[in-house]
Amino acid sequence: MKITNSTYAVLGAGASGRAAAELLLAHGASAVDLIDAQLQSGAWLESLPAGMSVMTLDSEEVQSSYAGMVVSPGVDMESDWFKQVAALAQTPVIGELELAWSVRGDYLQPVATEGSHVPQYIAVTGTNGKTTTVELIAHILQGLGLRAQLCGNHGKPLSRCWLDYVNEPFEVAVIEVSSFQLETIETFAPEVAVCLAIEPDHLDRYKSYDDYEAAKLKIFDFQNKECRAIIDANIQLSSLAAIETVSNQALAESDWMVKGEKVFFQDELYVDVGDIDWAGGHQVLNLAYAIASLQDYLVDVPRTELLSILESFNIPAFRCQKVATIKGVSYYNDSKATNIDSVAKALHGLKAKEGGSIIWIAGGKDKGLNYQPLLPLVENKVEQAFFIGEIGDELVSLFEPVTAVENSKTLDVAVQRACQVASENDIVLFSAGTSSFDQFSSYVERGEAFNSLLKKYNS
């Protein structure tokens, strides 16, 4: 890929697009046109690097002779807007991740260690649990004295990491990768690639589940026999890389197995995290993926040292995060749960103390999801449910035969009612099961609102 003295187009003016544009200029591009569907505003426009122009598709400055085009992951390549730009420019297209990968040799160098091997690039994809898994990987590495950088879909875009590398050097890139980013890779081949369970999601962008799954599994396409592939035991994969499987299902055959708070490798106990407060339910499965990805490096690490590092880990916000214990009631904020699988994992993983039960708050935007698979789980584990948002009535109708339900309509009322009915040893779980855009701007705003409401109704 020739960058020097060439003019490029970058599609999408978000964080990834801006970083890609700057990286192209840093590597000698003569000019970069940053093209977005929307007219841009903000202070960042006042300090554009020399050679960068920002425009919309209808700008007279858009060219038909770019040397190449870099697309941000947020740009749907099946959208009419993208097709218009691509037809006008008629030039090869790669993604921001692929661009950053192509220049990696100018930055990260192999880590010099005695004995055990440290992978330079660890990439994680899957439907749920990616962020917790990459945070665990980075936390373990940092606890062992290595500089690990969170990149990609969580943390900084990899292009931004390279731009900041002189002032913020690191030794291992831990990259969370979305299906959107994987659509446009051509050579991306992390030394260790991890794919957690794949469940139906983003079907507003993909024509089918098969297309979504295929995008996820592209993470393994360019690995070679020196690489490692860590996958959910239900995934069927043919790869040159060495494959290891992970599961918490009792009947599964897997290299790594989670049983309660214990992680086993090839039927031998690897680590028991039963005394660690955050390590319950599906979080132990995320930990198993993290440990598996670092297995070669952890071989000489005493288990007591690993446990000490894990004790200081904090679950990322809004991911089945225990946010309060008030009058013996435990409150969990799982606002990030925007699909059925997330809710199922949270309900499976949480166990109320003796005499207690689970009170569930859910609902939000109508994404057309099928909640029927949750019926047996809700019947067995949920004592009371409060539903909110566009799908409130639908959820009441579906779950009324198996548990006590109310349509609270808003999160405010749902939290108030949950606090009123909860008693000692109960768990109040806010696991939405859909997106937030009917009443909130993001799952973050929704999660922050839940935390604030807890304080309001427990003061």
Q: What is the DSSP code string of 89-138?
A: H---EEEHHHHHHHTGGGT------SSS---SEEEEESSSSHHHHHHHHH
Angle between helices 130-143 and 282-293 (to 10 degrees): 50
Listed residues 251, 278, 311: the one ending a domain: 311
Q: Report the CATH number that the domain containing residue 161 is assigned in CATH.
A: 3.40.1190.10
Say if 75 falls within a structural domain. yes
What pLDDT score does 114 carry? Answer: 66
Pairing verdict, β 242-247 and 427-431? unpaired
Tell me the residue type at 238. S
Taking CA 18 as the corner, what is the angle to CA 16 and CA 22, rounded to the nearest 5 degrees?
115
Give domain status of residue 34, yes or no. yes
pLDDT in tens, 414-455: 999 999 999 999 999 999 999 898 899 999 999 999 999 999
* Residue 259: domain span: 102-311
Phi and psi angles of residue 300, each rounded to the nearest 5 degrees, phi first: -100, 5
* Residue 2 forms part of a structural domain: no
Q: Are residues 338 and 432 in the same domain?
A: yes
Identify whether 150 is part of a domain.
yes
Taking the CA of residue 127 as centre, how many other CA atoms within 13 Å lie in the half-sphere pointing to its CB? 22
Q: How far apart are CA 130 and CA 286, in angstroms?
A: 8
Is residue 414 in a domain?
yes
Q: Does this model's pTM top 0.85?
A: yes
Residue 146 within any structural domain of the chain: yes
Same domain for 297 and 349, yes or no, is no
276 and 151 fall within a common domain: yes
* Distance (Å, whole) CA 218 – CA 207: 17
pLDDT attached to residue 112: 67
Answer yes or no: is 96 within a domain: no
CA distance 282 to 436: 23
Residue length of the chain: 459
Distance between CA atoms of residues 232 and 245, nearest Å: 6
List the CATH number of the domain containing 440: 3.90.190.20
Same domain, 348 and 423: yes
Say if residue 74 is in the same domain as residue 211: no
Q: In this structure, what CATH number is given to the domain that contains residue 28?
A: 3.40.50.720
pLDDT (0 to 100) of residue 367: 85
- Domain shared by 151 and 296, yes or no: yes
DSSP state at residue 354? T
117 plus 159 within the same structural domain: yes
Are 290 and 325 within one domain?
A: no
pLDDT given at position 13: 94
pLDDT tens sequence across 175-225: 999 999 999 999 999 999 999 999 877 777 888 889 999 999 999 999 999
For residues 191 and 287, membership in a common domain is answered with yes
Q: Enumerate residues 6+ apart whose C-beta is below 8 A from 65.
A: 7, 89, 91
Same domain, 288 and 340: no
* pLDDT at site 115: 63
Residues 269 and 146 occupy one common structural domain = yes
**1, part of any domain:** no
Per the structure, the count of domains in the chain is 3
**pLDDT tens over the chain, length 459 residues:** 689 999 999 999 999 999 999 999 999 999 999 999 888 988 999 999 999 999 998 877 787 789 999 999 989 888 888 988 888 777 889 999 999 999 999 998 877 666 678 899 999 999 999 999 999 999 999 999 999 999 999 999 999 999 999 999 999 999 999 999 999 999 999 999 999 999 877 777 888 889 999 999 999 999 999 999 999 999 999 999 999 999 998 777 899 999 989 999 999 999 999 999 888 778 999 999 999 999 999 988 999 999 999 999 999 899 998 899 999 999 999 999 998 989 998 998 888 888 899 999 999 999 888 999 999 999 999 999 999 999 999 999 999 999 999 999 999 999 999 999 999 999 999 999 998 988 999 999 999 999 999 999 987
Last residue of a domain, one of 91, 119, 152: 91
Q: Residues 243, 306: one domain?
A: yes
Q: Which of 269, 291, 311 is the last residue of a domain?
A: 311
